[in-house]
């Protein structure tokens, strides 16, 4: 029989699920039963709200889906595509979806958005987004896992790789460009993110175990900047705002470490996140994967040391939650992308060398899906206007793409 619960100050859905189900990872069952209370953000747990707590042995029927997004919008003075994406998708990094749907009206420069344009606002898909087709070899000779972004200014995927000469190379279209390397050189794989329309930020682990940063500022590449750290893996990076970067890596105790940059405060010091999570310390293999699908929201995935299971934690705007065990057997670092509010696609390399995918559809996790691609490195998933592409090092050390 279903129960009711009145929320208290400081409650989270994870805490409430632990209270009633003794399992915080079942928080989504309470969320689905109370969507009219929370709306589209499960982090909005305000005191004094009466919740229905479903009986796990007799769950209620699924609630109706929330209404779709508006289909049109007329621009106003000083509007930007980033701000419109934040308004409609709660994620400014999805601005290129609006641009691609309205390129004929906007023109070739997405930075120029005149008032009075009648724009189509595409609805984000909720179905799983699986890369399709046969893998393609893109050439080059690379030594580690790549990482990539979709950069609408060029309408291309930009992929970053470490060459046999130790330089950072950028691949887009059919071109390769040598971006150099930090003074100390670097090891392992790069991490890249598009922070706004003009910026690409790329990070590597230097041979002194410090974090080094190079960025495209609209007219050229700048760097290398040294941000310290004592990293024991490649970094990973995500951005939930034009003015925010969050960087994660594995530390010396197989723990998760974190630093960030924001436009007001600059660069933070590195923090040890060992005691941050309610699920306790989880030693990790490889580097973690991180993504943001909304303001002040971060999802982190890692391969747990020992059993290789994929584990998941998330920042909901006020606190870290997790770790949640998603099973599987990950033999390299995972990769994660988000196609929209609350949608997650995670990719990993299995013990047979194939790419495997698991996805969160907004209410539940799928099972593991084997993809048609054999790889010799960690995968790198990137979302573009036509769907998700996965890049990796092939068994003959070329850059390889699926989707």
Q: pLDDT (tens digit, 9 = 90+) per residue, 91-127? A: 777 787 788 788 888 887 887 888 888 898 887 654 4
72-120 against 136-402: fold identical: no
Give per-residue pLDDT as tens, 238-247.
Answer: 998 889 999 9
Question: b/e map of 119-154 (b: 16 or more CB within 10 Å)?
Answer: bebbebeeebbbbeeebbebebebbbbbbbbbbbbe
b/e map 361-400, b = 16+ CB within 10 Å: ebeebeebeebebbbbbbbbbbbbeeebbbbbbbeeebbb
Yes or no: domain 136-402 corresponds to CATH 3.40.50.300: no
Residue 63 pLDDT: 39
Burial class of 305 by CB neighbour count within 10 A (0 to 12, 13 to 18, 19+): middle
* Model pTM score: 0.76
Q: Residues in the chain with pLDDT < 70?
A: 1, 24-25, 39-44, 58-70, 124-129
The string of pLDDT tens digits covering residues 37-75 is: 876 666 667 888 899 998 877 654 443 333 444 578 888
Burial-class residue 85 by CB neighbours within 10 Å (0-12, 13-18, 19+). Answer: buried
Q: Which CATH class for the 72-120 domain?
A: alpha beta
Position 66 scores a pLDDT of 39
CATH topology of domain 3-53: Membrane-bound Lytic Murein Transglycosylase D; Chain A (3.10.350)
| Domain spans in the chain, listed from the N-terminal domain onward | 3-53, 72-120, 136-402
Interstrand relation of 156-162 and 221-229 (parallel, antiparallel or unpaired):
unpaired
- Please state, in angstroms and rounded to a whole number, the distance separating the CA atoms of residues 335 and 315: 18
> Can you say whether the dihedral through the CA atoms of 350, 307, 193, 367 is positive or negative?
positive
Bridge-based pairing state of the strands 380-384 and 369-374: unpaired
């Amino acid at each position: 029989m279903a129960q009711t619960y009145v929320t208290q100050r400081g409650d989270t859905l994870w805490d409430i699920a632990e209270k009633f189900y003794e399992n915080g990872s079942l928080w989504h069952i309470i969320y689905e039963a109370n969507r009219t209370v929370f709306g589209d953000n499960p982090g909005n747990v305000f005191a004094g709200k009466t919740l229905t707590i479903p009986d796990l042995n007799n769950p209620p029927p699924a609630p109706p889906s929330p209404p779709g997004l508006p289909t049109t919008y007329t621009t106003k003075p000083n509007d930007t595509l980033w701000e419109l994406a934040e308004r409609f998708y709660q994620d400014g990094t999805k601005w290129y979806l609006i641009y691609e749907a309205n390129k004929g009206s906007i023109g070739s420069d997405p930075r120029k958005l005149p008032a009075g344009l009648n724009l189509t606002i595409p609805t984000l898909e909720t179905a799983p987004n699986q890369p399709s087709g046969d893998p393609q070899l893109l050439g080059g000779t690379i030594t580690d896992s790549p990482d990539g972004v979709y950069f609408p200014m060029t309408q291309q995927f930009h992929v970053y790789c470490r060459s046999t000469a130790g330089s950072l190379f950028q691949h887009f279209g059919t071109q390769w460009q040598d971006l150099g390397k930090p003074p100390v050189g670097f090891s392992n794989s790069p991490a890249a993110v598009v922070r706004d329309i003009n910026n690409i930020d790329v990070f590597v682990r230097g041979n002194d175990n410090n974090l080094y940063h190079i960025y495209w500022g609209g007219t050229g590449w700048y760097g290398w900047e040294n941000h310290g750290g004592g990293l024991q893996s490649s970094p990973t990076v995500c951005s939930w705002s034009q003015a925010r970067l969050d960087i994660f890596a594995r530390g010396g105790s197989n723990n998760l470490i974190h630093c960030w940059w924001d436009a007001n405060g600059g660069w933070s010091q590195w923090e040890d996140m060992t005691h941050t999570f309610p699920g306790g310390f989880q030693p990790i293999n490889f580097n973690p994967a991180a993504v943001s699908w909304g303001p002040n929201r971060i999802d982190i995935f890692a391969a747990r040391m020992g059993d290789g299971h994929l584990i998941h934690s998330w920042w909901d705007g006020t606190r870290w939650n997790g770790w949640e065990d998603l099973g599987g057997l990950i033999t390299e670092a995972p990769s994660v992308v988000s196609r929209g509010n609350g949608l997650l696609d995670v990719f990993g390399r299995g013990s047979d060398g194939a790419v495997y995918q698991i996805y969160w559809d907004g209410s539940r996790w799928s099972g593991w899906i084997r993809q048609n691609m054999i790889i010799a490195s960690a995968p790198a998933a990137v979302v573009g206007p036509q769907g998700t592409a996965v890049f990796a090092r092939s068994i003959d050390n070329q850059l390889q793409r699926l989707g």
